[in-house]
Amino acid sequence: MLSLISEPRARLAYVAAEGELKQPFKDELPTRQAQLSTLQDTEEFDVLVVGGGATGSGCALDAVTRNLKTALVERNDFSSGTSSRSTKLIHGGVRYLQKAIMKLDYEQYMMVKEALHERSNLLDIAPHLSAPLPIMLPVYKWWQLPYYWAGIKMYDLVAGGQCLKSSYVLSKNKALELFPMLKKDKLVGAIVYYDGQHNDARMNLAIALTAARHGAAIANYTEVVHLLKKTDAGTGKEKVCGARCRDVITGNEFDVRAKCVINATGPFTDSLRKMDDGKNTNICQPSAGVHIVIPGYYSPDNMGLLDPATSDGRVIFFLPWEKMTIAGTTDTPTDITAHPIPREEDINFILNEVRNYLSPDVEVRRGDVLAAWSGIRPLVTDPNSKDTQSICRNHIVNVSDSGLVTIAGGKWTTYRSMAEETLDAAVAAHRLGGGPSKTVGLVLEGGQDWSPTLYIRLVQDYGLENEVAQHLAATYGGKAFDVAKMARVTGKRWPIVGNRLVSEFPYIESEVRYAVKEYACTAIDVIARRTRLGFLNVQAADEALPRIVDIMGKMLDWSDKKRTEELEAAKKFLYLEMGYRSRSEQLTGTTEITLDTQEVAKYTNRFHKFDKDSKGFITTVDVQRVLQNISVQIDENALHEILNEVDLNKNGQVELNEFLQLMSAVKKGQVSDSRLAILMKTAEESLDLRGPVTVDRSGGGV
């Protein structure tokens, strides 16, 4: 029987001190192989959790801290699905509160109240990965000012003592001072309220690693082949008693037996339910949410923006994150897939909505999209709803006749309370014992020894760059020292240690080595979840891949064939799932060159300054020759990458027509900051002046 959880638990179990709980792996985590051995060798677990997203990892942590013998398996990587593709907000849900008030919906009100409690707890237990973020709601009509103000104040009131900071009203001038790129016309003022923001994939990993430290046997790349069942002696009915699992990496199959199996597979919830009983009907309705990443200059460093009513009624957030800007999300029905791909129409929808709120002085260019991704939300189906926007982001706990416990729906912020509800149901259904939940106030991996000034010690003790030290402290918390210890000497005066993977991001090579300790098995794990490079700039991630594969290959003893496979798989991931394909489509989507006669002549002349032999194409040799004439040196590999961006037919050379297509795309804003375009322009100017030229590495666009 399904039960819709409509209000938070009245009982809250606080952890007085983390030291009261057992931590058998406080110093060193078991290797993945050791975890697999534990899964195979343990006669019977109390709980087997299927799914390594936020909810599944939360269930494992809740179970193991109740002193239940706990296992968790995930068929891909921890947080590889929806949990790493969120808006990065820890929030109660402003728009849900609006619906609750407008429709007198008590269920939605209680959901917001629960989420605000969980928001406060999450900020407390992972201070290194999360922080309050002010979000501005611009107002363009006078009557909206008191209306929005009353709604936001109600949000503060519902939060009560857990209100992060009180909301406030801004005049037009003050709003523009704090958010200078905001559209000025008809702006009346603005309201600022506070929610939390976090690094979602790292938060998910911190939950899973905390469970492992407390003794849970967890394994990524371990899929469930089928559920194990046995006949109950008392009732004669079949009961789920574990799962047949397969190590995706080796193909080895083994049984994991458990008194209780928990289905926490997000969008794939119904797949496991039908594995239990093929007659089960679907309870999840998947919805695709697309986000884009654009350069950091589109938003202030510490101020987000909320568009409460877009052209089609959806809500768009515009937020600073990891020194970039995230814009999204869309909300459209979709098919379930393990590899969702961002659609061009969704990317353009977000860009158009962003244009509505930014000053005309700020040209919002399609080519400024550095990465784009799609996440599938596992929404609980409401039979009375006509679209996914009206579905309540609540959760459902279901115990089947065979004893399979399913947790479906919900949202990131409430993962912990969802896990508590799920384990309460599991304990009751299977008579597991173990006592009440202990996860409120339980500090997550890295949070114990973190402080706002921790990065200073990293700089002083290890000679790391300031930016790198800040990044390590904000990503690993107290574990940042373990990463710093693994960093190699640079051979430079400064920094003393810490070679960057790419020049403009603070990720360093030792993070790849540390990622293997955190159960990273593929290059994708590193660029997508152990670091966030793939989510921030796909071009930079693509450039870092060879070095990442080289480091992992040495640590994991990969053959040359395996290294090639890893490189190709990661490039495919960037191309399809992180939006890299979109860049090529911006150039190849149309053969039309929208340049006037004068512009064609100018760019053709520029091209022929490199194509001295009038071959009709240029290669790295041609570019090197010109650069030598103006006393500029660029690494040959870097030059190859620069030309490869524009080499649409991948024949190792750039034809005149390809170059004109590039310049046409730059003119239309479809491509921005093309390194080849900037290099050839500055080189041409230097040839005329016969002076030195500086070529800066661009961010690139997808």
Written as six digits, the tokens of 536 are 């921030």
Identify the domain boundary among 585, 606, 632. Answer: 585
Any idea what the CATH number is for the domain that residue 490 is in?
1.10.8.870
The most confident of the ranges 97-101, 442-446, 500-504 is: 442-446
Residue 96 lies in a domain: no
What is the CB-side half-sphere exposure of residue 238 using CA atoms within 13 A?
A: 7
Give yes or no for residue 437 having a pLDDT over 60.
yes
Integer angstrom CA distances of residue 651 from 359, 589, 623, 647, 658: 42, 19, 16, 7, 12
Mean pLDDT, rounded, of the chain: 88
Q: Does 472 map to a domain?
A: yes
Whether 267 and 136 map to the same domain: the answer is no
The answer to whether residue 445 sits within a structural domain is no
For 257-285, what is the mean pLDDT?
94
Q: Which tokens hold the place of 111?
A: 């959901």
Same domain, 187 and 206: no
Give the domain CATH number at 69.
3.50.50.60
**Phi–psi pair at 195, nearest 5 degrees:** -135, 180
Nearest CA to 627 among 602, 504, 544, 638? 638
CATH number of the CATH domain containing 189: 3.30.9.10
Q: In this predicted model, which residue has the larger pLDDT, 3 or 183?
A: 183
What single-letter amino acid sits at 269? T
- Within a domain: residue 298? yes
622-675 confidence digits (pLDDT tens): 888 888 888 788 877 777 777 777 776 667 778 888 888 888 888 877 777 778
**527: in domain:** yes
Question: For the chain, how many structural domains are there in total?
Answer: 4
Residue 657 lies in a domain: yes
Give the model's pLDDT for residue 369: 92
Q: What is the pLDDT of residues 290-339, one digit of tens each?
A: 999 999 999 999 999 998 777 777 788 999 999 999 998 878 888 999 99
Q: Does some domain include residue 21?
A: no
Helix (H) or strand (E) holding 502: none
The domain in which residue 169 lies consists of 129-197+286-378
Task: Dump pLDDT digits (tens) for 456-494.
Answer: 999 999 999 999 999 999 999 999 999 999 999 999 999
pTM over 0.85: yes
DSSP-assigned states of every residue in 277-307:
-TTPPP-EEEEEEEEEEE-GGGS-TT-EEEE
Tokens 């990892």 correspond to what residue? 57
Angle between helices 106-125 and 144-159 (to 10 degrees): 60
CB within 8 A of 69, min separation 6: which ones? 42, 44, 45, 46, 47
Q: CB burial class (10 A; 0-12, 13-18, 19+) of residue 324?
A: buried
pLDDT at position 639 = 79
| pLDDT, tens digit (0-9, with 9 covering 90-100), for 58-107 | 999 999 999 999 999 999 999 999 999 999 999 988 877 777 776 777 77
Least confident window among 91-95, 178-182, 515-519: 91-95
pLDDT at 697 over 50: no
Confidence band, pLDDT 50/70/90 cuts, at residue 193: very high
Boundary-marking domain end, from 554, 585, 616: 585
Single residue among 585, 607, 624 that ends a domain in this structure: 585
CA nearest 356: which of 161, 226, 185, 135?
A: 185
Give pLDDT, residue 585: 65
